[in-house]
Chain A
Amino acid sequence: MRTLSTILLLAAALSPPKPVWTGPSVTLLGGPSKDGRWLSYVDHGDLALRELASGRTVVITKRANGSKEFAYFSTISPDSRRIAYAWFNKLGFYELRVVDLDGGEPRILYRNEETGFVQPCAWSADGSQILTLLFRKDNISQIVMQPAAGGLPKVLKSLNWIYPKKMDLSPDGRWIAYDSFASENSGERTIYLLAVDGSRERRLISEPGDHLFPVWTPDGNSVVYASGTGVRMLDLADGKSRSIADNLGRVVPLGITQDRTYYYGLRTGGTDVYASEIDMAQGKSGGSPRPVSIRFPGRNSQPSWSPDGQWLAFLSRRGTETFGEETRVLVLRAAKGDGERELAPKLARMDAPHWTPDGKALLVRGTDRLGREGLYRVDTETANAVRVAEPVDANGCSPAKAVLCGTELRVGAERYETTLAKPTELAWAPQRDAIFVGDGSRLVRIPLDHSPVQKVDTPSGFSIHPNGRTIAFTAGSTNSEVWALKIP
């Protein structure tokens, strides 16, 4: 009997993963129902269900044409009768809603302007509580239990702005598994267990490595999680972890059904930076584009040539994250030879790198480790990042009432010409002596003392070498697929 069990376990373990849904409609914002019948997802902004066996889809919500509202993360109740989901509302923030699977009017469970984002993660077995992640305006994320009948959530633990990528509730409702950083100075995540009654917390996985996306098995005996490009399972009884599948790719776990089918999303494809000769006068390419780097293929984007043409800077993804903020580094690639070096500034997010005119730094749009968005200057020698501009309020009015009016910037009674045809972005210089104004592709600095407007070299989708004959650009795309894997 023991031998048979072992054989069966091995057979289960050896079952290869199978694709269950591919194509352009796939989103990875929901999860499977416990009975394995449904998969929740987002269909053009509406909450929807896909019947896994037949492929039939049911759109649950009904957005008005042109509406800015949309559905986001969702989770189906254990009895497969309700769905909790995040809904981006007219006021510009997410609220937590519940709707019956067979339709009807949704109920708002949690709506708080101070909490800009909500993510329902799991239901308690009795359907009375929803494990939810809140993300507050002050860049604090919180693990809460939201009563499904409504009312104030119980805040179990507050974390900084770097929120868990995944949380799940144990079948007995006593423990929450979530991922967070292994230590304050670590870029690697690991898995923690937090008691739902708030009495205890402990680190579940001590081994080094990037461990994230925990999901409980239906029997509550194990936690399945992603590690690198594979999936592992930790047995809570003996604390031992073993591999379930290796080399899957960029995994986004969606959930486990009662029959122990592990549904997960895969991010496929990728982007790379290419260079090509171009005849600027004729607008013709002068040859086949060539990838500029063979390291980390599929992870590179957003090139920018240095003013002297000696270096090409671009972003390169390093982490295993599959949604939300990605761990990126700046790569400086020598124009001649194979020299490359990396800059890893202490920023949680980086986008749109572009060289400063003196060639000593890169300007990036980003977020620091306190969650503060802005424009950062990254020194190319030290990788030190300094914020040089911060965004104003979303409504375009800073505390000093800076507003854009046509091509004009108005600060109180003062008026400034932006030199841009359609300025859309405002940001204050930290010293409050100037305002940065952008139009999506260009950026200027407007000193408040009315001295001349200064052009700031700006990000764009491609970068032309100073020699005027070489262009660097990003090419490629990413797609999502849903796969299933039987776990032992």
Chain B
Amino acid sequence: MTRAAGFVLLAAAIAQAQVPLGLDAYIPAPENNPLSIEKIALGRKLFFDKRLSRDGSIACASCHDPNLAFSDARPVALGIAGRKGTRRSPRIANRAYGKSFFWDGRAATLEEQVGGPIANPLEMDLPVAEAASRVNLSETELRRALASYVRTILAGDSPYDRFVAGDRTALNAQAQEGLKIFRGKGGCIACHLGPNLTDESFHNTGVGAGDEGRAKWSGRPEDTAAFKTPSLRDVASTPPYMHDGSVATLEDVVEHYNRGGRANPYLDSELHRLQLTDAEKRALVAFLKSLSGTIREGSL
């Protein structure tokens, strides 16, 4: 069997593996970095390897804790020597389906993204090539392995997924009412849509004044303080919220949008006062809690 044919068979085997309910069986990966068992296993080890930080004190998993749905309980990322970042560590489940990476979308691929936190002086503070040499890999090998592992972190099979798949009992009456609001009066679905509940686009919701956001990379003034819509999967178990971790609870998030976001010159045109009743707000929160399911990682 040729090496190429072997790759195809392996990719097929990977795809045959059960993805969590609610997600696509097709997991996008670049032609030059198809998923393989070896790379995923290597990437998994690297994800927990503290040698990738300058002082050997933190690993990727330090801010993307598997016990917190690959999230972080802190408002902003904490790097080596207690250095504080400016933004919250994004949840990284289902990033295989992503179209751009980081809150401001500055990385086009996962291969590019995984090097960012390693090199960031406020995070792991180590040139990626140096980090790679510490673990006896080339930089390309390191990037491809980490990206491959991240592609296997998949969250789904929530009550919401079961409901959408046809199980009418999977959501209780309150959560079903919340789903109606999510799709209708609340207008949440304008940005939180699709299997991963994100449009992978950038919006200014009036959070985090002083951070250029997407505009720094797009050069478009209208992108000022616009940040990528996060997935809502497992959102109930991953507070605090927003790109700067400035909102503590789901109830506060709902209230933020109920007020139409925070006024500023670049506020997204989708935002306006929702005039939700207290019961509607509670229903919306109940629905958001139904988005918690199972997370699968590292396996084929």
Residues on A facing B (Cβ under 8 Å) = 111-115, 136-140, 142, 152, 154-158, 160, 194-195, 197-201, 370, 372, 386, 393, 398-400, 430-432
Q: A138-B193, A198-B25 are in contact. Are A431 and B272 (CB under 8 A)?
A: yes
> What's the Cα separation between A139 and B164 when bound, in Å?
12
Complex Cα distance, B181 from A137, in Å, reads 13
Q: Residue-by-residue, is B135-175 near A (CB-CB < 8 Å gives 1, otherwise 0)?
A: 00000000000000000000000000001111010000000
Q: How large is the interface on B (under 10, 10 to 19, 20 to 34, 35 or more residues)?
A: 20 to 34
Which of A199, A398, A431 has the largest number of chain B CB atoms within 10 A? A199
What A residues does B194 contact at CB under 8 A? 138, 140, 158, 160
List 13 A-B residue pairs with CB atoms under 8 Å apart, sorted by A's residue number: A111-B166, A112-B166, A137-B183, A140-B193, A140-B195, A142-B24, A157-B24, A158-B195, A194-B26, A200-B8, A399-B185, A431-B273, A432-B185
Binding site secondary structure of chain B: loop
- The residues of B that contact A430 with a CB separation of less than 8 Å are 272
In the assembled complex, which residues on chain B have CB atoms less than 8 Å from the CB atom of A200? 8, 11
A-B contact count (CB 8 A): 86
Which A-chain residue is minimally distant from B280 (CB atoms)? Answer: A399
CB distance from A162 to the nearest CB of B (A): 13
CA distance A195 to B183 in the complex (A): 32
B165 & A198 in contact (Cβ 8 Å cutoff): no
Q: Known contacts A155-B25, A158-B24, A432-B275; can you find 15 more A-B pairs with CB under 8 A?
A: A111-B166, A114-B163, A138-B164, A138-B183, A155-B23, A195-B12, A195-B26, A198-B16, A199-B15, A200-B8, A393-B180, A393-B184, A399-B280, A400-B185, A432-B274
Q: Are A154 and B25 closer than 8 Å at their CB atoms?
A: yes
Q: CA separation between A399 and B176, bound complex, in Å?
A: 12
Interface residues of B in 184-231 (CB under 8 A from A): 184-185, 189-190, 193-195, 199
Residue of B12, B163, B184, B199 touching A399 (CB-CB under 8 A): B184
Closest to A159 in B: B194
Q: Is B80 positioned at the interface, with any CB of A under 8 Å from its CB?
A: no
Instruction: Provide the bound-state CA to CA distance between A399 and B277, in Å.
Output: 10
**Cross-interface CB contact of A199 among B14, B168, B189, B199, cutoff 8 Å:** B14
Shortest C-beta distance, B193 to chain A (Å), equals: 6
Q: How far is the CA of A198 from the CA of B189 in the complex (A)?
A: 27
Check: B73 CB closer than 8 A to any chain A CB: no
Cβ of A398: which chain B residues have Cβ within 8 Å of it?
184-185
* Interchain CB contact (< 8 A) of B165 among A112, A139, A199, A432: A112
Q: How far is the CA of A154 from the CA of B24 in the complex (A)?
A: 8
Establish whether residues A199 and B193, one from each chain, have CB atoms under 8 Å apart when the complex forms.
no
CB distance from A136 to the nearest CB of B (A): 7
Instruction: Given A140-B193, A154-B25, A156-B25, verify A198-B166 contact (CB < 8 Å).
Output: no
Does B28 belong to the interface (CB within 8 Å)?
yes
CB of A95, distance to nearest CB on chain B (Å): 11
Q: Does B27 touch A at the CB level, under 8 Å?
A: yes
Residues of B within 8 A of A195 (CB): 12, 15, 26
Is A155 a contact of B184 with CB atoms below 8 Å? no
Indicate if the CB atoms of B27 and A198 lie closer than 8 Å.
yes
Q: Closest CB of chain A to B65's CB: distance in Å? A: 28
B180 to chain A, nearest CB (A): 7
* Chain A residues, Cβ within 8 Å of B181: 399
Write the chain A residue with the least CB distance to B185. Answer: A399
- Say whether, besides A158-B195, A194-B26, A113 and B180 are in contact (CB < 8 Å): no
Query: CB < 8 Å: which of A113, A158, A372 contacts B190?
Result: A372
For A154, list chain B residues within 8 Å (CB). Answer: 25
Q: How many angstroms between the C-alpha atoms of A430 and B272 in the bound complex? A: 8
Asked if residues A152 and B165 are in contact (CB atoms below 8 Å), the reply is yes
Q: How far is the CA of A248 from the CA of B266 in the complex (A)?
A: 49
Chain B neighbourhood of A197, CB < 8 A: 12, 15-16, 25
**Residue ID in chain B nearest A393 by CB atoms:** B184
Q: State A195–B25 Cα separation when bound (angstroms).
A: 10
A139 touches B184 (CB 8 A): no
Q: Which residues of B contact A194 (CB under 8 A)?
A: 26
Complex CA distance for A372 and B165, rounded to whole angstroms: 22
Nearest 3 CB-CB pairs, A to B? A198-B25, A198-B15, A199-B11
What 0/1 pattern do residues 229 to 256 of B give for CB contact below 8 A with A? Answer: 0000000000000000000000000000
User: A157: which B residues are within 8 A, CB to CB?
Assistant: 24-26
Are A201 and B190 also in contact (CB < 8 A) when A140-B195, A431-B273 are?
A: no
Contact A201:B164 (CB < 8 A) given known A137-B183, A195-B12: no
- How would residues 265 to 300 of chain B score, 1 for a CB under 8 Å from any chain A CB and 0 otherwise? 000010011110000100000000000000000000
A431 CA / B185 CA spacing, docked (Å)? 10
Query: B189: which A residues are within 8 A, CB to CB?
Result: 138-139, 370
Contact with A along B1-25 (1 / 0, CB 8 A): 0000000100110111000000111
Within 8 A of A (CB), among B27-73: 27-28
- Complex formed: what's the CA distance from A158 to B156 in Å? 14
For residue B214, give the distance in angstroms from its CB to the closest CB of chain A.
Answer: 16
Chain A residues with Cβ below 8 Å from B193 are: 138-140, 160, 370
CB neighbours (8 Å) of B269 from chain A are 386
Tell me which residues across on chain B come within 8 A of A158, comparing CB atoms: 24, 194-195
- Could you say which residues of chain B place their CB within 8 Å of the CB of A400? 185
A200 to B13, CA, bound (A): 12
Q: Complex formed: what's the CA distance from A139 to B273 in Å?
A: 24
Is A201 touching B26 in the complex (CB atoms < 8 A)? yes
Q: What is the CA–CA distance of A197 and B17 in the complex, to the nearest angstrom?
A: 10
> What 1/0 mask marks residues of chain B from 95 to 137 whose CB sits below 8 Å from any chain A CB?
0000000000000000000000000000000000000000000
Once the chains are docked, how many angstroms separate the CA of A393 from the CA of B180?
A: 10
Q: Is the CB of A201 within 8 A of B165?
A: no
* B164 A114 Cβ-Cβ under 8 A: yes
Report the minimal beta-carbon distance from A222 to chain B, rounded to whole angstroms: 21
Chain A residues near B272 (CB-CB < 8 A): 430-431
Closest to A140 in B: B194
Known contacts A399-B180, A430-B272; decide if A199 and B166 are in contact (CB<8 Å): no
B135 vs chain A, min Cβ distance (A): 29
B273: which A residues are within 8 A, CB to CB?
431
A136-B164, A194-B26, A399-B280 as given contacts; A199 in contact with B190, CB under 8 Å: no
The residue of chain A having its C-beta at the shortest distance from the C-beta of B21 within the complex is A152
Q: For the complex, what is the distance from the CA of A80 to the CA of B280, rounded to whole Å? A: 52
Q: How far is the CB of B167 from chain A (nearest CB, A)?
A: 9
Q: List residues of chain B with CB within 8 A of the CB of A399.
A: 180-181, 184-185, 280
Q: Which residue of A lies closest to B283 (CB)?
A: A399
